[in-house]
Amino acid sequence: MIPSIATVLAMLPAQTRVRIEAFAREARSQLGDDLVSLIVYGSAVRGGLTPHSDVDVLAVVRRDDAAFLARLHGAASLARAAARLDLRVLHVDEIARAADVFPLFFDDVRGCHAVLVGVDPFKDLVIHDEHRRLRVEQELREARQGLRRLVIDHAADPPTMRLELEALHKRMRGPLHGLLQLHKSHARSDLTAVLDVIGARLGVDTVPLTSRAIDALTAADATARLLDAAIADVDHLQTGST
């Protein structure tokens, strides 16, 4: 269920909420009718926002020439400094055309977002399973390669390895959730839920990924087992199969 923008704003720290609302007013003032929508997505909506998290905001516009985009400089700079605004900009016409190369990003936005200004341009977007499958496999294989490098780079520093693993697990959330979508699962999109459901589906114990009581090398091996199982699964998955 997509939450209302009032619900999302109420979950933000007061100072962050004030800054995001101020950015929205300034964006609407500066861009006028060429601003199609401002959308809040990511951890601010999904849950898991921390004091160090960015607030993900997507601006959808009808123009993207340099002079037009420059109108956002002041408001975006202030919101970035004061509220960790992470702003992405899409031209309204590219959303449907780019769904084949950004299926997981668009899935993530479409599945859990709140419209701050304007209309919802993702409401009727169609994303094909084969595009989703290919992107899931690519991101999982990239994560597997990154894990090998991570272990080599941080083998002598377990605390840093653990921090890097946690960052990797956050990046894995999207493709693992995409894999569950390919299996027509309706699991929540937050990391804890995704790991629980995908681990049960693939028969992999995901507790070592999240337990601080388990050493970093053991957590790395558990991460490798999960990635290998997920890659094998998506590699043999055909569009429309479960």
In this structure, is residue 50 part of a structural domain? yes
Q: Residue with structure tokens 């400094």?
A: 81
Residues 90 and 26 both lie in one domain? yes
Overall number of domains in the chain: 2
- Give the C-alpha separation, 92 to 146, whole Å: 33
pTM score, two decimals?
0.87
Question: What 3-state DSSP class applies to 239?
Answer: coil
pLDDT band at 242 (very low <50, low <70, confident <90, very high): very low
197-202 contacts, C-beta under 8 A, 24 or more apart: 198/226, 198/230, 199/226, 202/226, 202/229, 202/230, 202/233
Q: Which residue, 91, 118, 145, sits at the end of a domain?
A: 118
In this structure, is residue 241 part of a structural domain? no
Residues 113 and 143 both lie in one domain? no
Residues 113 and 21 both lie in one domain? yes
Residues 112 and 136 both lie in one domain? no
Residues 69 and 106 both lie in one domain? yes
Residues 142 and 95 both lie in one domain? no
In this structure, is residue 97 part of a structural domain? yes
Going along the chain, which residue ranges are E strands? 35-41, 55-61, 85-91, 113-118
In this structure, is residue 242 part of a structural domain? no
In the chain, what percentage of residues exceed pLDDT 70? 97
What's the full length of the chain, in residues? Answer: 242
- Give the C-alpha separation, 155 to 149, whole Å: 10
Model pLDDT, residue 50: 79
Contact 118, 124 (CB under 8 A): no
- Give the C-alpha separation, 112 to 189, whole Å: 8
Residues 107 and 190 both lie in one domain? no
Range of the domain at 44: 5-118
Residue 241 reports pLDDT greater than 60: no
List the single range of 49-53, 117-121, 142-146, 163-167 with lowest mean pLDDT.
49-53
pLDDT band at 1 (very low <50, low <70, confident <90, very high): low
Hey, what are 225's tokens? 């087992």
Residues 73 and 142 both lie in one domain? no
Residues 90 and 145 both lie in one domain? no
- Strands of 35-41's sheet in order across: 85-91, 55-61, 35-41, 113-118
Residues 24 and 93 both lie in one domain? yes
Report the CATH number at residue 49: 3.30.460.10
User: In Å, how far from its chain's centre is CA 61?
Assistant: 21
Q: Which residue, 62, 94, 118, sits at the end of a domain?
A: 118
The pLDDT tens digits of the residues spanning 62-115 come to 999 999 999 999 999 999 998 899 999 999 999 999 999 999 999 999 988 989
In the chain, what percentage of residues exceed pLDDT 90? 78
Q: Which residue has the higher pLDDT, 150 or 238?
A: 150
Residues 49 and 147 both lie in one domain? no
The pLDDT tens digits of the residues spanning 166-221 come to 999 999 999 999 999 999 998 888 999 999 999 999 999 999 999 988 999 999 99
Residue 144 reports pLDDT greater than 60: yes
- Give the C-alpha separation, 102 to 142, whole Å: 16
List the single range of 7-11, 125-129, 184-188 with lowest mean pLDDT.
7-11
pLDDT band at 2 (very low <50, low <70, confident <90, very high): low
Residues 178 and 201 both lie in one domain? yes
The pLDDT tens digits of the residues spanning 17-51 come to 899 999 999 999 999 999 999 999 988 888 777 77
- Give the C-alpha separation, 169 to 163, whole Å: 10
